[in-house]
Amino acid sequence: MDGIIPLYKEKGMTSFACVSKLRGILKMKRIGHSGTLDPNVEGVLPICLGKATKLVQYLMASGKVYRGSITIGFSTTTEDLDGEVVDTKPLNEKLSDDRINELLASFVSDDLIQIPPMFSAVKVNGKRLYEYARNHEEVKRPERHVQIKYFKQTKPSEYDAEKHEQKIYFEVGCGKGTYVRTLAVDFGRKIGMPAVMSSLTRIKSGGFDISETVKLADIQKAADEGKLDGIVRSLDSALQQFEHIELDDNQWKMVKNGGFLYSNELDAHNNKCVLTYEGGVKALYYWDENKEVYKPEKMFSNK
């Protein structure tokens, strides 16, 4: 089975656990996901089956959209509500909407520098940061360069006058590798306050919207009833951003053996293009400027 399942990862499960569960349901080993979601985060997790595992990098590159909340007034070891509280400070005056919008907009950048949280899977000297954190070891964390397309409020914030805390509701569109937890913490830092990501849902990833997702229980039911075709999306659903070209018989004879194509043989207008034959996706080709030919970047089928 080859294709993509836009899974709704439920809160409390790891991304690896989702893959493991699906291997059992679908009775296949070649399964991968496109972008880890923390256990306390729910939402869209595209799952790649069979040959679609070759598409993971393209799904991840398409960007993600999250909705969640930031709570100002305390911070934790994990930058979300799973960790232990390490700092508290009362917010004695409510932030205005104008001030919140100004702060959120200040993060929008094609090259925002982030320091990943200690409780993350980033490797330093061959060891995961969360391993250092669990052993109470300090280690220098590498900078990450990420893209923030937009960062905005989704509804009015809530100020708790008794706790002296404020909850801000947001939506963020971002590139791969972005730690939304860290955005929450850095938001607080900009006003000298501890802050935490208090809720988070990924509403879009790999081109799939949360409205298109299915839960593990839905997949189990479809498998039991022999109706997986209604859940599994085609490989092409992850390649819509590329130009598509239908090959003729002679071109297909070349492509199925990984052959190169000159520009006069392929009426392409972009650096990358999806090649189809008899309506089926066969390969993704790219333009090699040095050789002045189109070459295979990914082969999906030679039949």
Q: Select which of 2, 38, 80, 186 is catalytic.
A: 38
Beta bridge partners of 166: 72, 159
Other beta carbons less than 10 A from residue 259's beta carbon:
15
Query: Is 38 annotated as catalytic?
Result: yes
3-state secondary structure the chain: CCEEEEEEECCCCCHHHHHHHHHHHHCCCCEEECCCCCCCCEEEEEEEEHHHHHHHHHHHHCCEEEEEEEEECEEECCCECCCCEEEECCCCCCCCHHHHHHHHHCCCEEEEEECCCCCCCCEECCEEHHHHHHCCCCCCCCCEEEEEEEEEEEEEEEEECCCCEEEEEEEEEECCCCCHHHHHHHHHHCCCCCEEEEEEEEEEECCEEHHHCECHHHHHHHHHCCCHHHCCECHHHHCCCCEEEECCHHHHHHHCCCCCECCCCCCCCCCEEEEEECCEEEEEEEEECCCCEEEEEEECCCC
Q: Which residues are catalytic?
A: 38
